[in-house]
Structure 1
Amino acid sequence: MRYLLTLCVFAIPRTELPSSSSAVNQFLRRTLDQGNIHKQDFHFHSLRHTHVAYLLSKGVDISAISKRLGHANIATTLKIYAQLLKEYENNQNDKILKSLNQL
């Protein structure tokens, strides 16, 4: 699955896919450097977290996200992404207050 995602993210031929997690991370680092993007401690698994943050920002239900990630139950997702969920909740509360203030 990781290598298939690499193919999708970087649009490289299947024959040129990195052969290990370490190779994937090195490939990602080189690609980021070429794009003049400097993120310390950013690795391939970070893309998974970015994906979750994006889906939450678009209002995708956490249950659907949990299934997409392949977690055995939603509690796993809630535990791992608690900080993002709190941020999402705060944003939603801001929207609610703004809407109510417009009444």
Structure 2
Amino acid sequence: MVFANSRGELLPSSNAVNKTLRKLMANCGLKKKNFHFHFHSLRHTHVAFLLYQVVDLYAISKRLGHSNMTITATRYAYLIDELREKEDEKISKVIGRLS
């Protein structure tokens, strides 16, 4: 387990988990000045990865435990907007090839 103490017990506090995460990231060379990364950031990274892999928003919403897709769509709208912009570019290129 990643977030466990020396006896293998889970670390219950979010502060302890964040401290462990920062230590692991630093060991991997992922330390940036004035950059705050918290355990909950992993959830956002996970959602971004799934969206960019074209996983259905309904499936992501259920995976996150949201009661409905609106919560997911609202919370991660910035990612959805980025994907829409990329898809708009693809559409423009495809249509441009028609002429």
TM range (shorter): 0.7 to 0.9
- Offset of residue 19 of structure 1: 2.7
Per-residue CA deviations over 1:36-56 (Å, capped at 9, x if unaligned) read 112411111000000110111
Q: Which amino acid aligns with 2:23?
A: R
| Number of residue pairs the alignment of both structures matches | 95
Matches within 5 A, 1:1-103: 7=1, 10=2, 15-39=8-32, 40-103=35-98
Q: TM-score, normalised by structure 2?
A: 0.84
Q: TM-score, normalised by structure 1?
A: 0.81
> In the alignment, is the contact (CA less than 8 A) between 1:18 and 1:27 conserved in 2?
no
Higher helix fraction (1 or 2): 1
Q: Distance in 1 between matches of 2:3 and 2:36?
A: 23
Aligned to 1:4: none
Q: Which amino acid aligns with 2:88?
A: N
RMSD: 2.1
The structure whose Rg is larger is: 2
In the alignment, structure 2 segments of 5+ residues that lack a partner are none
Q: Which amino acid aligns with 1:71?
A: H
For 2:8, what is the secondary structure of its paired residue? helix
